[in-house]
Every structure is written in structure tokens, then in C-alpha cells.
Structure 1
Amino acid sequence: MRAGLVLAAAVALAVIGAIRAEALTCEQTTFERNRYTLCTVSPAREDLRTFLKAPNGTPWGQFTTLDAALQARGKRLAFAMNGGMYHEDRAPVGYYVENGREAMRVISSAGPGNFGLLPNGILCIRARRADVIETRAFLRRKPRCDFATQSGPMLVIDGELHPRFLKDSTSRYVRNGVGTSADGRTAVFAISQGAVTFYEFARLFRDRLGLPQALFFDGNVSRLHAPSIGRSDIGRTLGPIVGVVEDAK
């Protein structure tokens, strides 16, 4: 194994070890001259969920609205991120599950836009684990998810970059997504601080974090709620949200 690969593997192991030592952490990192904010979650220890609509049927839309509703119940939103693509009415484009109830079916066909750039994938949250699973593999395995959201394209599939990503691409946006470890015990949510290509963003998950599966959530729309580092983005009304709920302090 080349020295560079040995070093990358050592860094990845150190990162995963730090993630497991602390259930929820948010921090900044730099990889190949691009800056990112990473929020790492241990699904076995943290209450990781998806969110779409308030009880009255109105989309939550903003992190502040969701957090206020949780605070009224003695909870709080410890971390959140926009969690997948949506239509103009904020309905999810693809598969969506909340509290075990399916609100939108799996979409497995190719189509326009990033979502339809196959392979795309699903973040499946189950008891004590979370997994990014490529959509057609998901349909074969048929896992039962307590919470789930579909987006696309996949960034990393079984340790390989999406085959359509170009190293010399000029398409740059602020982007966000999630990667998961093979054992489902670690989920790393990332958002770029500046504009990056798909290729650069995917390599963050594979080569910096050592995660075998990673899924793109969105570009340009990307938002993060991370009160532990004093950040809670506002902007256009969001569709699906993924986040961690904990007791209010």
C-alpha cells in the first residue's frame, strides 16, 4: 500500500474513532483547499429523525419553526440539515418515511436533474443505526426504516465515486450530504463552506472520512442548524429535514 493511502487510512480511522467517542459533534475541516462543516452522529446514542410537516399539515420550512415546536415539548433540535430534494409545495421528490409511515414511494427510474442522475440513494434510519443505501440495492433488500429520505445522486457507492463525476468539472455550488459507515454506527453530515464540485465533495467522504456510502442532499439550497457552533441558517422554505432531537437543557 502506498504511503499516501496508509496516511489516509490512518486519518480515517482517527476520525471514526473520534466520532464514536462523542455522539454528536460539529466542527470545521479543510480538505484539498475546500472548507467544510461536519456534524457526526451516533445513531445508537442520538435520536436521529426526519421531519416534513407540522401537525396542521404545514411544512416546517425552517429550523427555527421546528425547534420552537420541540422546545414547547421540553425538547430541542440539537442538529439539523435539509434532507433531500422537494417539489414547489415542499413535498419530497422521492421516498420519505417518518415515524414508520411512508409519505412517498421509492423512485428508481432515471430522470432530469440531480435526483435522476442514477445511481441515487436513500438514508434509512433504523433502531441503533443509519445507512445510506443505493436505491436499487434498497429495493432488493427491502429494509424497514423508521425514518428515511431519498435524494440523489449518490456520492460514494461501495467505496467508489459516482461514475458520472468529472475531475475537471466546472459546476460548483455550496453542497451538503451525508455518509455512513459500513456498520451503520456512524453518520457524518457535511456542508461545504464555499462552492465545490460533485467530484470534490464525494472525495471528502471517501478519501478524508473513509466512508463507503455517501448521498448528496442538495446544492445551493444547502442549510445547517448547529447550535453547538453558533450556526442556524435561514433562507428559502425547506422540504424534508433530517436532525437530532434531545432533551432541552
Structure 2
Amino acid sequence: MEDRSPLGLYIENTKQLRQLNTARGSGNFYLQPNGVFYITTDNKAVICKTSDFKKSSKTKYATQSGPLLIVDGAINSVFTKGSSNTNVRNGVGILPNGEVVFAMSKDNVNFYDFAKYFQDMGCKYALYLDGFVSRTYCPEKNWTQTDGDFGVIIGVTK
């Protein structure tokens, strides 16, 4: 949201800080189906449609976003191949072996091609996380695309 708070569901360390958002509206978040990426207390990663999400005490981390890029192995039907609607995009998918993959384009890409990237890796579900405001800080890959308004939403640590 404009105050930088999450627009939809947000759970951190099993504590729900923001409610699931099932409203209809305009913008990428509301493109259907949108979805939830979450990690359970036993470290299993899941992506599901917002309408299928059921909070439990085993939900350790969760974020809601939209649209889903891949739905049950297929590219979201609202995307158009060859679309001129391009932006820097980032998202999350779950590989067939259960590992999580985060991807961010360095150049502008349309939703269809971005979704195809996840589909080609074998993801049954993938979720769009953000667009043109996205930034990456990954110095070990010499990728420090940041500015004065950078804040971490998802961090990966070992």
C-alpha cells in the first residue's frame, strides 16, 4: 500500500500481521487468480490460489500477491503471448523437488514470457511478487540494483 504496508495477507513467525485480501480491484495484485506463497513450520513451501488458502498454526511465513503466473502447471489464461505490457518483474515458484526458486528479470518482460520461465523449470505454481519498483541486492552475483527507497521484503539467508 502507499504507506508501504502489505496489501494482502502477511504472516511473520506464525503471527498474522495483515488479513487475507479477497476484494476485487484494479492493478496486478487483483488479476485473477491471485495467490499466497507460504512456508510451514516444517519448512515446506506452498503456493496456492487465494481462494484455496487456509491459515493454520503451522503457517510460519506468508505473503499474498498477484497474479498467479502458473496455475496447476499452465500459464495463467489472462496473459497474452507477445503482449507489449512489459516491466521488470519478479516472482516465486516451487520446483518439482520442492525447492523454492525466486526470479527477477534484469530487463522488461511481459507476464506471459515471465510465466513461461517458471513453467519451463517445471513449476506447477508460481506467483508474481512485484514489478517496476523491484530491487535486488545480491553482491555475490554483482547485482546491487538498489536506490534510496530500497527495503527488503524477502531475504534469503543460509
Same-fold call, TM cutoff 0.5: yes
Paired letter, 2:114? F
Task: Tell me the TM-score normalized by structure 1.
Answer: 0.59
Measure how far apart 1:228 and its partner are. 2.3
Q: CA separation in 2, counterparts of 1:134 and 1:167?
A: 22
Q: CA separation in 2, counterparts of 1:240 and 1:214?
A: 20
Match of 2:43 among 128, 132, 142: 128
Task: Tell me the TM-score normalized by structure 2.
Answer: 0.90
Q: CA separation in 1, counterparts of 2:152 and 2:62?
A: 10
Paired letter, 2:138? A
What's 2:80 paired with? 166
Q: CA separation in 2, counterparts of 1:114 and 1:133?
A: 17
Paired letter, 2:83? S
Asked if 1:152 is matched to 2:66, the reply is: yes
Give the conservation status (yes or no) of the 8 Å contact 2:96–2:122: no
- The unaligned stretches of length 5 or more in structure 2 are none
What's 1:196 paired with? 109
Q: 1:241 to 1:170 in 2, by over 3 A?
A: same
What's 1:211 paired with? 123
Q: CA separation in 2, counterparts of 1:105 and 1:239?
A: 21
Measure how far apart 1:227 and its partner are. 2.8
User: Equivalent residue of 1:241, what SS?
Assistant: coil
**Structure possessing the higher radius of gyration over alpha carbons:** 1
Instruction: Compare the two structures and name the one with the higher helix fraction.
Output: 1
Q: CA separation in 2, counterparts of 1:115 and 1:169?
A: 18
Q: 1:203 to 1:217 in 2, by over 3 A?
A: same
Q: 1:162 to 1:236 in 2, by over 3 A?
A: farther
Q: How many residues align?
A: 156
What's 2:134 paired with? 222
Q: How does 1:45-84 map to 2 (within 5 A)?
A: none
Q: Taking every aligned residue pair, what percent have the same amino acid on both sides? A: 40
CA RMSD of aligned residues (A): 1.7
What's 1:233 paired with? 145
Q: CA separation in 2, counterparts of 1:236 and 1:133?
A: 33
